[in-house]
Amino acid sequence: MYLQVKDVKKSYGKDTSYVQVLKGISTGLERGQMCVIQGTSGSGKSTLLNCIGGLDTMDSGSITVDGREIFGLRPAQLSDYRRENLGFIFQFYNLVPNLTVRENIQICQHIADKPLNMDELLETLGLTEHQNKFPAQLSGGQQQRCAIARALIKNPKLLLCDEPTGALDSKTSRDILVLLEEINAKYGTTMLIVTHNNSIKNMVHKVILIKDGLVKKEYLNEKRIPAAELEDL
């Protein structure tokens, strides 16, 4: 199994402010799968994503990615782990405003050992004609495409997406999801997507439902619906 999570616990605060967010999460994901994590606000889904991404430390448990245990890694080791394995896409694009599209993507290209071809990636994401524009000159969908390109240029093995369509309208959301689907098929990128949108679960290989810090249910989709055919986005 490419990603394996075993009995992960995570809490914040102490004494009267103590809150246990993850109460013993166990799950896993095969290489090349697209997976959705769903749950209400405060259920722990984003915290789990951050633990897998090495952005948050866990109290106990085990997370292995491609056979590498990340629990207990020192900050420098976590930095190497993120650089070598991960791409991140967030609801808010976090683009550098005074850099062009191409320059924003180059930030991650320069730290990658085996980056994808820049021009091919720009073409795949429909950004070729926008590559010399600044973020303020782009639509929301184009900014998210730039954020996706920045994450993908590293050729990551695992793409972590936190509400990637949360700030987009339904048409643009569908375009972004079609794009993620195409990327998964073309590059074999394993994807973990946190979302509130109930329709997105229909396009992925696996669904994980989290409630009150525990996995309530997980299942494989026997019949996936193409992203272009999703309703109620």
| For residues 69-77, average pLDDT | 93
User: Does residue 233 register a pLDDT over 80?
Assistant: no
Q: 55 CB contacts (<8 Å, ≥6 apart)?
A: none
Model pLDDT for residues 103-138, shown as the tens digit of each residue: 999 999 988 888 989 999 899 888 999 999 999 999
Name the nearest CA neighbour of 213 among 47, 86, 95, 6.
47
Distances (CA, A) of 98 to 134, 136, 153: 7, 9, 20
* Strand runs labelled E in the chain: 3-12, 19-29, 34-38, 60-65, 68-69, 86-90, 158-162, 190-194, 206-211, 214-220
**pLDDT value at residue 229:** 93
Whole-number mean pLDDT of the chain?
Answer: 92
Range scoring the smallest mean pLDDT among 1-10, 81-90, 164-173: 164-173
| For residues 21-49, average pLDDT | 94
CA-CA-CA-CA dihedral for 19, 20, 21, 26, to nearest 10: 180
What per-residue string of b and e applies to 13-45 under the rule 16 or more CB within 10 Å gives b?
Answer: eeeeeeeebbeebebbbeeebbbbbbbeeebbb
What per-residue string of b and e applies to 119-146 under the rule 16 or more CB within 10 Å gives b?
Answer: eebbebbebeebbeebbeebeebbbbbb
User: Does residue 181 register a pLDDT over 90?
Assistant: yes
User: Does residue 150 register a pLDDT over 80?
Assistant: yes
Using 50, 70 and 90 to split pLDDT, how confident is the model at 139?
A: very high
**pLDDT value at residue 213:** 94
Report the first-to-last Cα separation within the chain, whole angstroms.
Answer: 31
User: Does residue 155 register a pLDDT over 90?
Assistant: no
**pLDDT value at residue 112:** 83
Model pLDDT for residues 183-226, shown as the tens digit of each residue: 899 889 999 999 988 999 999 999 999 999 999 999 999 999 99
| For residues 13-22, average pLDDT | 92
Using 50, 70 and 90 to split pLDDT, how confident is the model at 7?
A: very high
Q: Could you say which architecture CATH assigns to the domain 3-229?
A: 3-Layer(aba) Sandwich (3.40)
Measured CA to CA, the distance from residue 49 to residue 27 in angstroms comes to 12
Bridge-based pairing state of the strands 190-194 and 206-211: unpaired
Question: So where are the chain's domains?
Answer: 3-229
| For residues 1-22, average pLDDT | 94
Are 114 and 77 contacting, i.e. CB atoms less than 8 angstroms apart? no
